[in-house]
Every structure is written in C-alpha cells, then in structure tokens.
Structure 1
Amino acid sequence: MTLSRRKFLQSTIKSVILIGMGNALPAFMPDNFSLPDRKNVKLRFALASDGHFGEPKSEYAVLHRQMTDWLNAEAKGRGLDFVMINGDLFHNDPALLPGVKAAWDQLSVPYYVSHGNHDMTEEANWQSVWGTPFDHAFTKKDIGFITLNTADIKGVYTGPDLAKTQAFLDAYKDKQQVFVFMHITPVKWTKYGIDRPDIVELFSRQANLKAVFHGHDHDEDGMREKDGKYYFWDSHVAGTWGTAYKGYRVVEILKDGSVLTYQTDPSSAKQINNNRIR
C-alpha cells in the first residue's frame, strides 16, 4: 500500500519543536504535522557534511554519488535554492581536491563549502578550487549566510577568527535573518567540540541570528541551545564512524519569518529531529 504524504510524515517524524522568544516549546506532535505549503516557503536549502573523500576503508566515491543523487532528487521534488557542504570535504591529502570537486559538481543546484579540520590545504589552493576563501559570506533574498573556518591547515581545532566573525555579523546586522555555517561547534557539547565562549558571546548578541549549523561530529544529528540561539548537526556523508545512516539536513525559511528544519535519513525515507524556529 502506498502511504499518503501526510501519513508518511506521521509515521516517520521523531519530534517537532517550536523555537521562539528564547524558549524551546513543544509546537505540535508528529500525528498532526505536515510540511507547509510550498508557496509559503521563501528559501529552502540543505546541509551535508563530512564526506572525507579519499579516506581509507571508506566507500567514499559510492557514498558521494549516493548523496548527490539524494540531493538532486530533493531539488527536483520540493526544490532547493542551494546546498552547503559543511566541512571535511576530503581526507587530509590536498591531492584529493580535484576528485571531491568533481563529485560535488554532480549537484544540480548551486553549492557552497566550508573548511574542516581534515581539509588540510593552503587557503590559496582551497580558493583556487572552490572560488571562496575559508571565511566568506553571501546573501539570498535579504538573508545573510556566514561561513566560518574552525581549524588550521594542519587540522588543529581553532574555532573561528574573532575579528572576522565580528565583521561579518556587523555587516549583516540589518539583514532580515542570519545563519552561520561552521564545521566545529564552539561549545564543548560533544566529544570533538571545543569551547569558544568569545564566539558564542558574539552569536548570543546578534539579534537576527537564527541558527548555527555544524558538521564534524558524525554521530550528531540533533540540536542544542545556548542563550536563545540554536545549533544543529547533520550526521555525515561518508567516513568510517558516526550515525548508522548517512543523511542531510533540510532548512525551510518561511515567508512569515519562521524556520523549519529537519534531518533526513534518505536510505529509509525518514525525517527525524524536526525543529521549527520563530
């Protein structure tokens, strides 16, 4: 029997949370949840991370093709304005850069990248391949997106540059909303996170900052909250450890200003850890 879209969602959603006024409150339960009408979505994007292209004992080539197929299907279906590949694109050896670039070029929509701790190459080389420096920003429909570097070229966890972070946030202070992409979390919530209270303080003060998105922790696919700001993970594309599934996160920015985000497990056609931000 073929499930309707509504029944499919009812059977696969793990949790739904409405975030607003500095609090995370239950908004609606899976048995009455459905995606908003597409005409009410202002901007829609997906995040994937940690492909570790070239990692020994990993089926990285197959898994990259699998992920680009899934994301292209997402784009063909409900639509995607862009994809963010949030760090650890390749595994240590900069000679792998052309191969991973060719893999992600199979996407049918524009995509952006962030630098991860395993992306061990000089910034000039990185920019020659991807067209952006480690730290960069862009706008779409009066929404600001900031991409911050969190590691040096030897893989040492550093967290973002404070001055660059402040400059980007200042430049986008009048945008309708701001989102940050950074590979490593700035709070030691996870085994591989680091504490950067100076960065967290900047985020906490930025009134229009809606969410921060991470990779790095392959076994994380949920959300944390700090000072009324929300931090998300998206599982992993490949690699030799992490969640049992390979997945990606979808973010829908709605015309009313709220933000719906959910993590997907495409291999079993699931949506999990759904969150809505107002």
Structure 2
Amino acid sequence: MPSSRRSFLKQSATLLATAPLATPGLSSPTAKPRLRFAVASDGHFGQPDTPFEETHAQMVDWLNREAGERGLDFVFFNGDLIHDDPQMLPRVKTHFDRLQVPYYVSKGNHDQVTDAVWRRQWGYGENHDFALNDIGFVVGKTSNLAGDYLCADTAWLAEALQRHRKRSHVFVFLHIPQRTWAKASIDCPDVMRLLEQTPNLAAVFHGHDHSTDDVKVSAGKSFCFDGHIGGSWGVAYHGYRIVEVQADGSVHSFQFNPAAQPVVNTNRLTH
C-alpha cells in the first residue's frame, strides 16, 4: 500500500475514533430532558473466542463520550453481563467502574451466580427497584443459577409497581422477553397483563435477543430491545439505546450505532 494512502487511512481512523458523537438527541438544543439514560445489553464478558475485553473498553469509552457531549443520568446494563463463568463478574465490573456516570445492572441467563454473589457484587438483589427524579425503575429476575428462562415473579413485580404507583413514570427492566416476540422469548401472560395494566408504565426494556433492536407495542405499552454489546451473534453492530423523558412528560428513544454513528431507529415510547 502506498505510504500516502496508508497515512490517509490511519488519519481517517483516528478522526472517526475522536469525532464528536452524531447523536442529535430528541430534545431541542435549549430544552434539557428531565432524565436521559442509556440501556445496553448482553456483553457476554468472557465468552471464548470473542474480543470481550476490547468490546467492553470501547463501549465504556462510547458511553463516556455520550455522557460528556449530550449528558446521561445513568447507564443500565440489562443482563448477560458475563458468559457463564462466575470469575468474570468482578472483571466486568472493573470496566463498568470506568463510567463517569452511575450505572445499574440486571441479571441474565448467562449470569450464572447465586443471589448472594450477585448481591455482594452489586449491592442489591436479583429483584430490586429504585427511583430518580420522581421516576421509578423496577428490575426483575428472569433466570436462575441454571440459566433457565423464567417468567418474572408477578407477586414481587406487582408490589414493586405498587410502590411506584404515584410517580410520573415507571420503567421496567426484564432481561428475558416475556412474550414470544423473538426466537428466544417465553410466553408469560400474567406478567404481560400486569405490565399492560400499569397506568404509569412508560416502557419495558428487554435484552437476551441480540438480533432485535427495535420497539414492540402491546396494549399501548412499549417493549424495547437494544441488540447487544458483545457475544458472537446478533445484529451486525454493538450499540445502545438512549431514552429521554421530556419536560412535558413525553418519553422518546433512539437506538444508536456508535461505530458508524447512525441513529438506527427513533420511537416515542409513551402512547
């Protein structure tokens, strides 16, 4: 390869790596959202024959750029943080700890550790909930130590949703999809009925299906997917979903491919 061409390609790669993110956001330049967060799923840290160290380092760099340029209140990693090996859990945490904003996690079917180990590592259990800016967040368990696909615990989920009933919005994170929208989903009619009948539910976020990166709607409720950030299968890019709660209470989202910088899809989540 001629020297000039090699230099040009090297310079172009450097510019792409350092260029500002092209995420336009969904709010106007003068209107700051009430809340802005990112959702990323399925890193599969430790999966053999994959560059899991590199993909995680790159994703954290992208998310830090997102936070610095457009602002993020937090990041949520929605399950399958590791790939079966419990020894990988502390190692993936070292990557997450480089984030310049708070982060939260849910447990996936490949996160095959006990609840005690999970609680010791993250400071909360497999089922947990929290609130920020009068907005509730409910995180449900959808797998077990053996990696089985499970329906969320409807009794616990109902109690958690009840705790947040007076908040302006509530978001739910369940790694395994609870309806057979995708190949790896299961059918959980009781869970779906509960979610669909929750008045202030703004959206549900699923991981697990690496090949899905869009938003499904059922009974007026949005169920969001975001592809994957690791692993050896799925959509042909590693990306994340941005969610913005606007000052008027509307909720909007877009799926982003940070390597190529296109917005893959844009959705209004509240209907």
- Determine if the TM-score, normalized by the shorter chain, exceeds 0.5: yes
Aligned mate of 1:99, from 73, 87, 91: 91
After TM superposition, which residue ranges in structure 1, 4 or more long, deviate above 4 angstroms? none
Please give the per-residue CA displacement for 1:134-179, whole angstroms capped at 9, x wherever unaligned: 0100101100000111111110001211111010011111111100
Indicate yes or no: 2:181 matched with 1:193: no
1:75 counterpart residue number: 67
- Distance (Å, rounded) in 1 between the aligned partners of 2:48 and 2:269: 39
Could you say which residue in structure 1 is the equivalent of 2:215?
223
Given the alignment of the two structures, is residue 267 of structure 1 paired with residue 259 of structure 2, yes or no? yes
1:41 alignment counterpart: 33
Query: What is the 5 A alignment of 1:2-151?
Result: 35-37=27-29, 39-151=31-143
User: CA offsets, 1:221-274, max 9 Å, x none?
Assistant: 001111111100011111000000000000000010001100000000111210
Question: Amino acid of the residue matched to residue 148 of structure 1?
Answer: G
Letter in 1 for 2:87: A
Whole-angstrom CA distance in 2 between matches of 1:57 and 1:229: 38
Q: Shift of residue 37 of structure 1?
A: 3.0
Higher-RCO chain (CA-CA 8 Å, sequence separation at least 6): 1
Distance 2:50 2:23 in 1: 32
Retained in 2: the 8 A contact 1:38–1:78?
no
- Aligned partner of residue 41 in structure 1, secondary structure: coil
Report SS of the residue matched to 2:36: strand
Q: 1:163 aligns with which of 155, 177, 182?
A: 155
State how far apart, in whole Å, the 1-side matches of 2:268 and 2:29 are: 15
| Equivalent AA in structure 1 for residue 50 of structure 2 | S
Aligned amino acid, residue 62 of structure 1: E
Measured against aligned partners, the alpha-carbon deviations of 1:65-99 in whole angstroms (never above 9, x if no partner) come to 01000000000011000000000000101111110
For residue 120 of structure 1, report the CA deviation from its aligned partner: 0.2
- Displacement of 1:40 in angstroms is 3.6
Quick one: structure 1 residues 34 and 147, their matched pair in 2 at CA, closer, same or farther if it must change by over 3 Å? closer
| Greater share of strand | 1
Tell me the secondary structure at the aligned position of residue 147 of structure 1. strand
Shift of 1:277: 3.2
* SS of structure 1 residue aligned to 2:156: helix
Q: CA deviation at 1:35?
A: 4.2
Structure 2: 5+ residue stretches without partners: 1-21
Query: 1:194-223: per-residue Cα shift (whole Å, max 9, x none)?
Result: 100000010111000010001100011001
Size of the alignment, in residue pairs?
Answer: 250
State the alpha-carbon separation in 2 of the partners of residues 235 and 38 from structure 1. 31
Report the Cα offset of residue 36 of structure 1: 2.4
Is the CA contact (8 Å cut-off) linking 2:119 and 2:125 kept in structure 1?
yes
Q: What is the DSSP-based 3-state SS (H/G/I as helix, E as strand, rest coil) of the residue aligned with 1:45? A: strand
TM-score, normalised via structure 2 length: 0.89
